[in-house]
Amino acid sequence: MPREIPVSDGFPPSERTRVRRLPERGLYERSEIYPVIDSALTCTVAYLLDGRPIATPTAHWRDGDQLYWHGSAASRFLKSVVGTEVCVSIHLTDGIVLARSGFDSSMNYRSATLFGICEEITGAEKVTQLDAFVEKIVPGRSKELRASHDQELKATTMLGMKIIEASGKIRDGSVHDNSDDANEKIWAGVLEMETRFTGLTPDEETPVIAAPSQLLEQMIGKKI
């Protein structure tokens, strides 16, 4: 019998979501999984298309227990997942763990696996959530943009998925070498990595009408 994992505010592990491989890295609390979801700009949605597996990357955002993504109304992906269960995978890579053997080398990461049933989002919620999406990417930007035209809203499909099952997994820290390898004269440690915004390149096709807002300037150097 697997050890009972206490979860105070999250997703008690199910047969499907219980992390078996290195279970000590498994996370099930909202407070542990949601920062992973919110830090990532993109996710990959896995589903069945004509009975065969396919995984499609897309941008996402979250509001409470609801995960959202959007795209063209013509998207085969979006059309085919409405009303169906999908698995969403998210990961951020934080470093390459260079052990003294290839076998013990690894990566530092934060990841989440989410399950839910997709529904189409329409009406006022769609408009509100489009702003929420913009705000996630560049806080304050939704107030600077013109309102969406009806035609643009029509050409956009938005999907929402209540997260019904979820697991997170984090690998951090240093090298876990086989003790026999500790005396090998090989450098070991972590090659740290991060994703960050690096600069603003103005659109050269249109005249510059104003300096970028402070909000945009503040994004430079922001770590994801």
Ligand X SMILES: Cc1cc2nc3c(=O)[nH]c(=O)nc-3n(C[C@H](O)[C@H](O)[C@H](O)COP(=O)(O)OP(=O)(O)OC[C@H]3O[C@@H](n4cnc5c(N)ncnc54)[C@H](O)[C@@H]3O)c2cc1C
Query: Which span (43-51, 72-80, 107-115, 116-124) binds ligand X, by CB under 6 A?
Result: 107-115
DSSP state of 10: B
DSSP state of 217: H
Q: Is 79 helix (H, G, I), strand (E, B) or coil?
A: helix
For the bound state, the minimum distance from the C-beta of residue 126 to ligand X, rounded and expressed in Å, comes to: 29
Q: Is 51 helix (H, G, I), strand (E, B) or coil?
A: coil
SS3 content of the chain, % helix, strand, coil (to 5): 25, 35, 40
Q: Which of 39, 46, 75, 91 binds ligand X (CB under 6 A)?
A: 91
For the bound state, the minimum distance from the C-beta of residue 185 to ligand X, rounded and expressed in Å, comes to: 26
Residues 6+ positions from 48 with CB-CB distance below 8 Å: 54, 84
Q: Does the protein bind ligand X through residue 19 (CB under 6 A)?
A: yes
Q: Does the protein bind ligand X through residue 176 (CB under 6 A)?
A: no
Q: Is 114 exposed, middle or buried (0-12, 13-18, 19+ CB in 10 A)?
A: buried
Q: Does the protein bind ligand X through residue 17 (CB under 6 A)?
A: yes
For residue 121, give both structure tokens: 């989002």
For the bound state, the minimum distance from the C-beta of residue 130 to ligand X, rounded and expressed in Å, comes to: 28
Q: Which of 39, 44, 75, 93 binds ligand X (CB under 6 A)?
A: 93
For residue 117, give both structure tokens: 């049933």
Query: Which span (52-60, 119-127, 141-149, 161-169) binds ligand X, by CB under 6 A?
Result: 161-169
Q: Which of 109, 119, 156, 181 binds ligand X (CB under 6 A)?
A: 109
Query: Which span (12-20, 43-51, 60-68, 127-135) binds ligand X, by CB under 6 A?
Result: 12-20
Residues 6+ positions from 67 with CB-CB distance below 8 Å: 37, 43, 60, 61, 88, 114, 116, 160, 161, 163
Count of residues binding ligand X (CB under 6 A)?
16
Q: Which residues pair with 16 in a beta bridge?
A: none
Q: Does the protein bind ligand X through residue 105 (CB under 6 A)?
A: no
For the bound state, the minimum distance from the C-beta of residue 93 to ligand X, rounded and expressed in Å, comes to: 5
Q: Which of 46, 96, 107, 134 binds ligand X (CB under 6 A)?
A: 107
Q: Which residues pair with 10 in a beta bridge?
A: 29
Residues of this chain that bind ligand X (CB under 6 A): 16-21, 91, 93, 107, 109, 111-113, 167-169
